[in-house]
Chains A and B, each alone.
Chain A
Amino acid sequence: MDVLLSEQLLVSALVLASLYGLVALGLNLVYGTMRLLNVAHGEIVMIGGYVAYWGFSRFGVSPLLSMPVAALIGALLGGVVYVALFRRMLRESRLSVRIEANSLLIFFGISIILQNVTALAFTADQRGYAYLDRVVHVADVSVEENRLIILAIGAGICLCCAVFFRYTRAGSAMRAIIQQRDAASLVGIDVERVNMQVFVLGFALAALAGTLISMTQQISPFVGFPFTISAFVIIIMGGLGNLLGSLVAAVILAFVEVYGVAIVSASFRSILVYGVFIAVLLLRPQGLFGRSIAVR
């Protein structure tokens, strides 16, 4: 029982929460504006991780410096995916339900492609590196330096995003589309351009999260998937399209995961995450903060 009260666990949970918050933010943006469920999101995270790994192990570049590079690569990928695959599909507004299911399959195909391209390039072995893993002591707690940095950077990026959404035109446009897609174009918002910006931003955030994650754990081509699942749990719990809600849900899930595993055991982690996933989808598809959808 003592272990539950340890500050280590608290720090782990906080770090995970900030990582989850970043990952979920990108996913939620794409969903909120375009109703697309990007199941390849975790693979973008994975790619960000590999950029950092490669930069460090090959060139000795600090992952912190790789971050903008990863973000750029993510952004580019986002732009390409949107223009090549989704722009056309979103234009032809046939049955929207089919578009949502079809787009999910497209993203699924993309995730398979990305996983296997990475496996081809780097082999399927786990890759890790040690960076800033010196232990420091902050107010009675011993924690690795990189964890603190992640916490700081993660929180910082979330804050920047909050500012972006509140005070910039582009950010407001995104929020407008999330709230009322049709009305947004009526007031002169160039929906296609914002869609593109959303893809770019969402993918960039995912890649950023990936570089941070690579500092704390080993990565492999298949490490992205659990993050996708967790991100889905978070955005559904927080309410699809509800950016603030997903941040709150990220904290909740991170704590449930870290403390749940501490109580039970590590091998139950997958059961826990998928169990929560199923429960959330079945019981409250509108999220903890969304309105109740009356369906018979």
Chain B
Amino acid sequence: MSRGSGIVLAAIALGALGLVPVVASDYTLSVALNFLLWSALALSWSLFSGLSGYVSLGHAVFYGIGAYVMVVCWQVLPIWSAVLLAGLAGGVFAFSLGWPCLRVRGPYFVILTFGIAEFTKYVVVTIEAGLGRTGRLLIGTPSLAALYEAVLVLAALSFALFAAIRRSRIGAGIIAIRADETAAESIGINTNATKLALFTLSAIIPAMAGAIMALRATYFEPMQAFSPVTSFTIVTIGILGGADAPPGPVLGAGFLVLISELLWARAPEIYMILLGILLVIFVLFVPEGIYGRLHLLAKPARR
């Protein structure tokens, strides 16, 4: 697919998605919103973890931070300023953490990110307890349609960002790092700076998404906002759909929302079991994800 026709297609899809609130019921709208939310989260995650091979199992931390910024700034700042501030907070957090953490490689990085997410969760829980709050309520939040459009913008942004990075010089660099970090360093790629830049970028949209979803939930509770299930779901979407190219996470998100709609309300445990099984199967047999596999099948054999 050439770039020109790809952009036209994307514009059409964007327009169509933008019109959904006009025609759809509240229920359909919320399903669509979830789809776009998980797309945005998984696309942002893939931008770093997919391309670099450094699997972040704690991405929920940025989401939670964004949500926390929103509730703290509620009625102190205008809403959309708070969203931007949330994004900034996510970026700053990732940047400060990234510096020490990205020196840790392989599976240690994976569990380290998980540990950091849990640690931050308990810190926020303690802070809130110290402030005497068990949860925060937001009254007078924007309409579902408005939130939907906001999440649509985030999803579109993350898609465009991922596509752009992949084609750029820094994208070539991070892919080289994934292939062989020592060799990448030897040809002039500043591995620390490259990883840090993409890690920071990957945190901004999830933080903004967290802020917007806090408005949607109208309720903030740290154990929920920083839940490891969010991190697990993001990783599973990335693995299922494929984390190498933008259509992958979108496919994965669609798949996930579909299963979720079928199972979550009725049998949440079975839903989780299914996700776990899918994760295991895909890691073992289809590590490139659905989109990756389709991509491979479409191209003539060149290996």
Contact = CB atoms under 8 A, between A and B. Distances in A.
B135 interface: no
A108 B101 contact: no
Contacts of B126: 267-268, 271
Interface stretch (B27-35, B40-48, B115-123, B146-154): B115-123
A177 interface: no
Contact of A105 (B53, B55, B118, B275): B55
Given A270-B118, A274-B122, A281-B108, A113 B101 contact: no
A278 B119 contact: yes
Given A98-B53, A274-B118, A89 B284 contact: yes
A155 interface: no
A282 B232 contact: no
A101 B232 contact: no
Given A89-B284, A100-B107, A271-B122, A119 B116 contact: no
A150 interface: no
A35 to B, nearest CB: 8
Interface in B227-285: 232, 235, 239, 269-270, 272-273, 275-280, 283-284
Contacts, number: 108
Interface centre among A88, A102, A278, by most chain B C-beta atoms within 10 angstroms, is A278
Contacts of B278: 109
A77 to B, nearest CB: 14
B280 A110 contact: yes
A78 B116 CA distance: 29
Nearest to A96: B106
Contact of A281 (B55, B111, B270, B272): B111
B235 A105 contact: yes
A108 B110 CA distance: 11
A143 interface: no
A116 B279 CA distance: 14
- Chain A interface: which size bin? 35 or more
A278 B106 CA distance: 15
B88 interface: no
A112 B278 CA distance: 11
A106 B273 contact: no
Contacts of A274: 115, 118-119, 122
Contact of B273 (A85, A88, A112, A268): A112
Contact of A102 (B103, B125, B287): B287
Interface string A80-100: 000001001100000001101
Nearest to B100: A282
A101 B279 contact: no
B232 A281 contact: no
B164 interface: no
B129 interface: yes
A285 B235 contact: no
B103 A295 contact: yes
Nearest to B275: A112
Nearest to A120: B269
B25 to A, nearest CB: 31
A117 B273 contact: yes
B232 A112 contact: yes
Interface in A235-283: 267-268, 270-271, 274-275, 277-278, 281-282
13 contacts: A85-B284, A100-B107, A101-B53, A101-B107, A108-B235, A109-B277, A110-B280, A112-B275, A113-B272, A271-B122, A274-B122, A275-B119, A281-B115
Interface of B: 53, 55, 57, 100-101, 103-108, 110-112, 115-116, 118-119, 122-123, 125-126, 129, 232, 235, 239, 269-270, 272-273, 275-280, 283-284, 287
